[in-house]
Each structure stands twice: as C-alpha cells, then as structure tokens.
Amino acid sequence: MQGAIYSLPVKFTAIFLSVLTCALCTVSVFLTAIFISLGFYNPQMTQFDYYQSDDCSTRVYYAASTIVYDYYSLYRNQADWTESALMSADAELSAAAVEGIASIDDELAGYQEQYSPDHTNFRFTLLKDNQTIPISTYAGEEYGLRQEYTFTVYDNEQQTEETLTIQCYVVSPFAVSDEYSSSSYWYTWAFDMKYQMLALAIGSTLLLIVLCVYLICAAGRKKGVNHVVAGGLHTVPFDLLTVMVWTVGILLAVSMGIGYYDATNIITEGLRTCLLITGLFALGLFYVMSFAVRCKQHTLWKNTIIYRVYHWIKNGILRFYRNRSIVGKSLFFVVLLAFLTFFVGTMCISSHNEGAFFLYVVLVAFVVGSLLMGFQVRYRRIRRGIEKIAHGDLETRISTKGLYDGLKEQAENLNQISAAVQTAVEKQLKSERMKTELITNVSHDIKTPLTSIVNYVDLLKKQQIQDPTAKEYIEVLERQAIRLKKLIEDLIEASKASTGNISVNLGVLDTTELLKQVSGEYIDRLAQHQLELVLTVPEKELPVLADGQLLWRVFDNLLSNAMKYSQPGTRVYLDLTEEKNQVLIVFRNISRYPLNISGEELMERFVRGDSSRHTEGSGLGLSIARSLTELMNGRFEIKVDGDLFKAQVTLTKTI
C-alpha cells in the first residue's frame, strides 16, 4: 500500500534533493542573515547607497592605513639611508646608501602608479604635519565619500612627534572598474534580490524539513515489504556507527579547514563553508535515518557493542553462576565480597578516608543482612510447604513467585511431587470408591434373593416334616442363610467405613454415659454366655467429639466379638481413663481360642482369631471398628498377649 512512495528511486531522489536543498538552504539562510545585519529588511531603507555602506568605508580605511603605514616606513628608511650615506667614509657603503635611496624613489613612483586614477576610483591626499603634500592622487573630482584619518607617529630615538593626515575620496560616479564598482554592483544586486533571498531561505528550509521527515519515515521501509528491513550500515553496531560518523565529521571539518578564515575572499569562503555544512548535513541525515531504522526495529540498544559486551559478560557470569552448587555460589559471593572489600579498603586507607570505609562496611553488612533475611523468608516458605505436604495437605502448592535458581527449582520439584502424589491419591480414592460402590450394589442385589431364601427356609421349618435328617438339613440351611445375611451387612459397612463413604455427624458426647449405655445393652447378653462385664468409669463426664452411632458400632463390634470368642466363665473388662487431653477406652477379654496372630493382622479384613472359620461372624468386625474410629479422628489399637485380647480406643477430649 505504501510501497510506491518508499521505492528505491524515490528515496534516492529524495536524498539527492535533500543534499541539494541543504546547500541551497545554507547559502540562502547565510545570505539572508547577512542581509539582515546590513539592515536590508529595514523598511526605512528604500534603496542602497554604496558610498554610505560599511563595506565602502571599511575598504577606504583599509587602503588609507596601508598607505600611511607604507609611506611612513619608506620615509623612515629614506631618512636612515640618507644619514648613513652622508656619515660614512666608506665609499662602498655610501654607494649602497645612494642606491637604497634611489630604490625608495622607485617604490614611491610604483605607489603612485598603483593608486593612479586609471586603476582605481580611490583618491587620496597625504599631509604631513598639515603642511606638505608628499603624495596626492586627488585632483578635485566629484566624490561620493570623503574620509579623513589622522595618525600620530612617535620617534622614540629622536623624541619627535609627527602627524600624518590622509584625506580619502571615492569618486562618483565610478570612473573605472575596480573593487569599489564591483562591490557596489553586487551590493545593489543583493539589495534588489533581498525578498527573493528571504523566500528562498524559508522555502528551502521548509523543503528540507519535509524531505528529512520523509526520509526518516522511509528509513528501513522497502517496496512490497511490510516490516522494517535494515541493510548496509544500519546493521553496524550503533555505538560504532556513532564513533564512525563523528570521526568522518571531524575529518571533514578539519580537511575543509574549519577555524581558518580568509576575510578577503568571501566567495570562496562562503562556498567552502556551504560545502562543509552540506557534507555534515548529509552525514547527519544518514545518522538520523540509521537511528530511525533502529528505533523502528527496536534494535537501537541491542545492536551496540556496549550491549553485546554487557550481555556477554552477564551471560558468562550467569552461566558460571548457574552451574555452581549452592555452596559454589556462596563461595563465589564470598570471594567477590572479599576482593571488593580488599579493593575498597586499600583505596580508602591509602587515601586516608577511613570514614568512607566504615560507610562501606555498614552498607555491606546491611546488603548481606537483607539478602540473608530474604533467603530465610523464601526458604521458610518452602519449609512450610514441605511441612504441609508432609502432613498430608496435598493441595499445597508453594508459590514460586520471587524465588530464584536453587530455591525455585526446589519449590518446583516439591510442587511436582505433591501434584503427583495428589493424583495418585485421587486415583486410589476413586478406585476405592468404585470398589465400594460395586460392593454395595452387588450386596443389595444379593439381599433380594437372600430374603427369599431366609423366608422360604423359615416356611419350610414350619412344615410338618417327620424325617429327622431333613430337619437337620433345614437347620443348617437356616444357620448359613443367617450367616450370609450378616456377612453381607458387614461387608457393606466395612467397605463404606474404610473408604469414608459414610456420613459422620460429629457432636459432643459423654464417653462415661456412652460406656454405661453400652454395658447396659450387653450385660444381660454376656451373662447368658457366662461372661461378666466389669465396667470402670470415672465419676465425672469425659466429653469427646464423635458420632455416637458410629462409636456405638465400634463397641457393639467389640462386645459381640467378646460374646462369640470369649472363654466362658471369664470377665470382660471395659475401662475408661483420661490421659492429658486424651480419652482412653480399654477393652479386654480372654479368648477361647489361642490367638496366634498379631493385633495388626487381626484387623485385616476377613481375619479371625481362629483360622477355621467355622464359627459365626464375618471377620470384618475389628476392621470396621478401626475404620469407624479413624473416621472420627480417633485411634484404634489391638494388642494380643497370650490369650488376652486388648483393644484400645483413643479419642481427643474436648473442653
């Protein structure tokens, strides 16, 4: 879209034009400035009178002073020569003096010739002490300017004082073509051209600005390419380019002779200055365009030698630093600090500036201290995260914000570990839950046919059956059906309890009251099995946070086990004690069968003290009891000591 105006020929034309315009602009502005200083633009100046101009009077003064100086030195020499010619006895010397006087005469004649009216419009009359007229070219012509200068000359040897007066005239109109007439011509021409020059100055300046703006915009653009492209010198590092530009600029200025000024040849001088300015402008334009390209490419800072060196050093240090262990890093810092301290210390002490060293030490202490503190704060965050993860809070993620290298890595690793463990746990939980659901669903499906079995066995029992063997078989059927029913119920409960798939309604309840209630429920039933329940509870209440129904199920399981497996004629102990902020409930009974397995194994599902499995019970009771206790944040432990079976339930006391 913008391709055409950024095409290469257009750009080159613009560059060429801008250099040209710059030259034009320099000249016109320079001239305009001169015109202003000459008062050309003063509205009162309607026409230019050369005879009244500074240029004319300057030329006159210059000529007058030259004449007076020359005349005076010639006059002095003539006097010397004359004196030595008269005084000298040496014939050779006298001859030389006479010759010298003759040459002075010649020179004076040449002088006369130089200022003759045939060559110049300048006329003068020289007066010595207002009397004699040694030289005069003025013959009473009409003049446009008359100036009179008086010079007083001291003779130190003879202690005399002479006065030289020169009367200068510039004839009007000009009689011959000389510097006055040509100057007058140019000045008059310039005066006539003053407005054109002003317009040219303004116009060329505006054009230059427009061209520069265009070129800055066009810099780096190419026809048909939408992004900025840099070629050639634009790829040279910017700081190098800057040095190059300055060098070329200074060389240019020196070679063009800046600082050397020849006032007599104003045209050459002006041309030279103009060329120099144009050259410097072209250089500057290129520099600005390069700057613009870099800004557009955002490579101004990056494409510099300074940046590269900085980057190289930084990367080098970082790479060196990164590959170190934390010990290496610390060592690196310590060595760095030691060197710095040594350097600063040497500097300060050698310059007797102990105060500065003290300040340095305080500063270092402050910086090191705050760094250490920052490290501690960050490390503490990681440590707390670890603690949380260790305590099972797997949703913890350590924020890595503000952490660097080693610590960050550590935190990220920890986060990954915790995420991995969390995923594993979630998977495990999901599979456990699915297992529970499967068990529950299957068990419910089993219950329906089981209901029929139980019912029809019961109905069969009521039939008038005479055969004793048939009756015996029916009894076996009934017993096993009831056992199956119990097994299924326990299975559902065990799977729910072990996966926490059970609603727990925690509330404050009194364990003393609960154990009394439990013993009330079981005392008669135990008595039927020739077992004596011994309950020991304190007088006061021992409140805990638990679900009463679930806690009852724990003791229900324990006591029904006691009923099933206790040696008849023994006692069953149920003790309630308090220990610090814990409530301990200890249950003990004597087993009828040898307990040849550990307490832990007893709590495994489907394990019973007797491995025969002939007695009633599912073997799930203790597993259920433990799961339920743990659901209430309690602890369930079993100890086996010979035939003594001991179960301990620990709950946290509430106030």
Residues that bind another protein (CB under 8 A): 444, 447-448, 450-456, 458-459, 485, 489, 509-511, 513-514, 516-521, 523-524, 535-537, 539, 544, 546, 548-549, 551-552
Partners of 62 in beta bridges: none
Nearest approach, Cβ of 448 to another protein (angstroms)? 6
Residue (127 or 572) nearer to another protein, CB: 572
Contact 44, 140 (CB under 8 A): no
Report which residue type is found at 559.
L
Identify the DSSP state of 51: G
Nearest approach, Cβ of 498 to another protein (angstroms)? 18
Residue (49 or 513) nearer to another protein, CB: 513
Return d(Cα 65, Cα 553) in angstroms, integer.
136
- Work out the angle between the directed axes of helices 621-631 and 548-565 (0-180°, nearest 10): 160
Residue of 421, 425, 423, 413 whose CA lies nearest to 382: 413
Residue (474 or 535) nearer to another protein, CB: 535
Sign of dihedral through CA atoms 348, 353, 359, 365? positive
Residue (46 or 448) nearer to another protein, CB: 448
- Work out the angle between the directed axes of helices 468-499 and 405-462 (0-180°, nearest 10): 160
Order of strands across the sheet that contains 582-590: 532-536, 571-579, 582-590, 644-652, 635-641
Give 176's contacts (C-beta < 8 A, 6+ positions apart). 117, 118, 119, 120, 121
Per the structure block, which two tokens stand in for 405? Answer: 């290298």
Give 218's contacts (C-beta < 8 A, 6+ positions apart). 5, 6, 10, 11, 14
Per the structure block, which two tokens stand in for 203? Answer: 């116009």
Residue (292 or 509) nearer to another protein, CB: 509
Residue (170 or 572) nearer to another protein, CB: 572
Nearest approach, Cβ of 550 to another protein (angstroms)? 9
Residue (184 or 629) nearer to another protein, CB: 629
**Residue environment code for 365-404, b if the CB has 16+ CB neighbours within 10 A, otherwise e:** eeeeeeeeeeeeebeebbeebbebbeeeebebbbebeebe
Nearest approach, Cβ of 426 to another protein (angstroms)? 26
Residue (127 or 544) nearer to another protein, CB: 544
Return d(Cα 312, Cα 332) in angstroms, integer.
19
Per the structure block, which two tokens stand in for 50? Answer: 């050369």
Nearest approach, Cβ of 596 to another protein (angstroms)? 33
What is the number of helices (H) and of strands (E) in the chain? 16, 10
Nearest approach, Cβ of 488 to another protein (angstroms)? 9
Residue (458 or 578) nearer to another protein, CB: 458
DSSP 176-206: S-SHHHHHHHHHHHHHHTHHHHHHHHHHHHH
Residue of 197, 63, 204 whose CA lies nearest to 135: 63
Nearest approach, Cβ of 465 to another protein (angstroms)? 16
Cis peptide upstream of residue 9 (ω within 30 degrees of 0): no
Residue (530 or 549) nearer to another protein, CB: 549
Residue (129 or 458) nearer to another protein, CB: 458
Residue (361 or 482) nearer to another protein, CB: 482
Nearest approach, Cβ of 655 to another protein (angstroms)? 16
Nearest approach, Cβ of 641 to another protein (angstroms)? 25
Nearest approach, Cβ of 575 to another protein (angstroms)? 10
Nearest approach, Cβ of 326 to another protein (angstroms)? 55
Nearest approach, Cβ of 515 to another protein (angstroms)? 8
CA atoms lying within 13 Å on the CB side of residue 367: 8
